[in-house]
Amino acid sequence: MNPLGAFTAYDILGSGLTANQLWMNVIAENLANAETTVTPAGGPYRRQEVILAPGTGQSFAASLGSALGVHVAAIVPDPSPLRPVYDPGSPLADAQGYVMMPNVNPVTEMTDLVAASQSFDANVSALSVAENTTQAAFKILQGA
């Protein structure tokens, strides 16, 4: 018997699917706000980044007896500078005629989206293999 539990593979894959889904949601929010110059907090939108961490945030050795996999440790604002865009006619322009725009780069977001999507797909494929293996094991046990 697996000392980590019979359903550890499902737990690990489920954590990956959950983390990747949240990552894709944050990317979608970033893209949706790529031109948002005024937020409820004031100022332009700041790109959000997802910080993934292994297991439950414990060391690998400590997490062996508990949850393996991945989790979202934090969603943090990207500290990169905002983009100044020259638009002297805008009511948001400063004295020099610049409007501060979000630090969202659509190319970066699409690249991250491809990575998150491929990771999600890999977890789905691994989940299918785990399910087929479990079903095969049950068939063997029924025949014994």
Nearest CA among 123, 121, 16, 109 for reference residue 71 = 16
Enumerate residues 6+ apart whose C-beta is below 8 A from 94.
100
Nearest CA among 49, 92, 17, 22 for reference residue 9 = 17
Asked whether residue 51 is assigned to any structural domain, the reply reads yes
- How many degrees, rounded to 5, is the angle at CA 125 between CA 23 and CA 49? 10
Enumerate residues 6+ apart whose C-beta is below 8 A from 119.
16, 20
Asked whether residue 110 is assigned to any structural domain, the reply reads yes
Task: Look at residue 135 in the predicted model and tell me its pLDDT.
Answer: 85
Asked whether residue 115 is assigned to any structural domain, the reply reads yes
Asked whether residue 2 is assigned to any structural domain, the reply reads no
Asked whether residue 3 is assigned to any structural domain, the reply reads no
In this prediction the pTM is 0.81
Q: Which CA distances in Å does 114 have to 13, 15, 122?
A: 19, 19, 12
Backbone angles phi, psi at 101, to 5 degrees: -110, 160
Q: Which structural domain, as residue segments, surrounds residue 59? A: 8-143
Q: How many domains does the chain have?
A: 1
Task: Look at residue 108 in the predicted model and tell me its pLDDT.
Answer: 96
* C-beta separation of 116 from 20 below 8 A: yes
Asked whether residue 1 is assigned to any structural domain, the reply reads no
Asked whether residue 138 is assigned to any structural domain, the reply reads yes
In which residue ranges of the chain is pLDDT below 70?
1-7, 56-67, 144
* Sign for the pseudo-dihedral over CA of 21, 23, 27, 30: positive
Residue that is written with structure tokens 């990771």 in the block: 119
Task: Look at residue 130 in the predicted model and tell me its pLDDT.
Answer: 84
Task: Look at residue 144 in the predicted model and tell me its pLDDT.
Answer: 64
| Beta strands, E only, the chain | 48-54, 70-77, 83-86, 98-101
